[in-house]
Amino acid sequence: MAEANRRVGIRQVAAAAGVSVTTVSHALNGKGRLPQETRDRVQEIAQQLGYRPNATARNLAGGKTGLLGLVISQPADIRFALSDFAYFTYLTAAASAAALDRGYALVLTPSDVGLGAAVGVAVDGAIVVDPVEGDPLVEELREASMPLVTTGRVVGDEPGNAWVDNDHIAATRSVLDHLGRRKARRIALMTTPTVISYSVDVERAYREWCAEHDVEPLITKTDQQLTESAGYAAASELLSLPTPPDAIFASYDRLAFGALLAANARGVQVPDELLLAMTATESSHGQSTGPSVTALNLHPDQIGQRAVELLIDIVEGRAEGGHVLVPTAIIPRASTKRPGASRAAQKNEPIER
């Protein structure tokens, strides 16, 4: 094994394998006319030694920068700090690690700066997170023939473009079924305007589920403001209705935390009188008081990793497009443990979708 703090180079691999540096280079890069046995042995020894190619030299030789760009799209009328949402933190951290594992570096740029040599950030490919409808950056990158992967589809986009996402239709239905098994009969959806594919899919799934169960949809939208205050205001309106909901599914965790505050302020007991579920990461609890909130984990770390892997495959010519679906899981918590529900419905087990 290689020493922890010493980088193994091609010469060390050649010495260990008993072959020339040229033979190692050809074996690791798929070049030259080598016996397959030699190629396999060199690759195995390189892996045992912990050899990693010099990304800078490789990229310069191939006319590449070795950089991948990542932009988190935001609607024109709203700005938010990425650190406010664990989802983006998990996604970008995993994407950065996946890029390094493949010999690239990830560059995170603001959505209003963009990517490309014209703005001083030349990259080999780009990832746009949650592109908005008619996203100008996506259009610009495609016009420049930049290798591109989006996490979340572009609303109304043509098939064949590369994207990584969850199956939000199935995931939303799983949450609604989860609430329905716990005797919820009037479930409200708290979400945002449908400018990204996530919100489009969530609302579509909710309306379809309501139609199948012969219940009237009850939707409140927060005009893009993804804050506890927005969730508090929206939930307060819902709970003031003549027939208020007995369950709320919030498509963002901070909206759910605001809904919990609104329920507490009005003396509505969670989960006895109101069930509450949200979309979040597995470790996201967030609120300081009240019961912990049941979460639909979208696994943003897996989304970031798979987006980078797909993008590199496109950059290096192994793929042209395609899409990847990442599974979701329900993490049941106290906010949906209603007395009287069946024992099977109360089991604290993640439900994969």
Torsion angle, CA of 118/124/125/126, rounded to 10 degrees? Answer: -50
Residue 78's pLDDT is 57
With CA atoms as reference, report the closest residue to 166 among 206, 199, 132, 139. Answer: 199
pLDDT at 351: 45
CATH number belonging to domain 67-166+300-325? 3.40.50.2300
> How does pLDDT run along the chain (353 residues), one tens digit per residue?
333 345 577 778 888 999 887 788 778 877 667 888 898 999 999 888 888 765 544 554 455 788 999 998 876 555 555 666 788 899 999 999 999 998 999 998 876 655 654 445 688 999 999 998 888 888 888 888 889 999 999 888 877 789 999 999 999 999 999 999 999 999 999 998 888 999 999 999 999 999 999 999 999 998 767 889 999 999 999 999 999 999 999 999 999 999 999 999 999 999 999 999 999 876 555 555 679 999 999 999 999 999 999 999 999 999 888 899 999 999 999 999 976 655 555 454 444 44
pLDDT at 338: 74
**Structural tokens at position 315:** 């950059």
> What one-letter code names the amino acid at 300?
P
| CATH no. for 168-298+330-352 | 3.40.50.2300
**Residues 103, 210: Cα–Cα separation, whole Å:** 48
Residue extents of the structural domains in the chain: 10-50, 67-166+300-325, 168-298+330-352
* Tokens linked to 279: 């979309």
Q: Tell me if 353 sits within 8 A of 328, measured CB to CB.
A: yes
Q: Which two tokens stand for residue 123?
A: 């990259």
Cα angle 262, 268, 274; round to 5: 95
Burial of 204 (0-12, 13-18, 19+ CB in 10 A): middle
- Residue 71's nearest CA partner among 145, 146, 130 is 130
The angle that helices 168-181 and 197-212 make with each other, rounded to 10 degrees, is 40
User: Which pLDDT belongs to residue 158?
Assistant: 75
Contact indicator for 296, 352 with CB cutoff of 8 Å: no
Residue 286: the pLDDT is 55
Confidence (pTM): 0.77
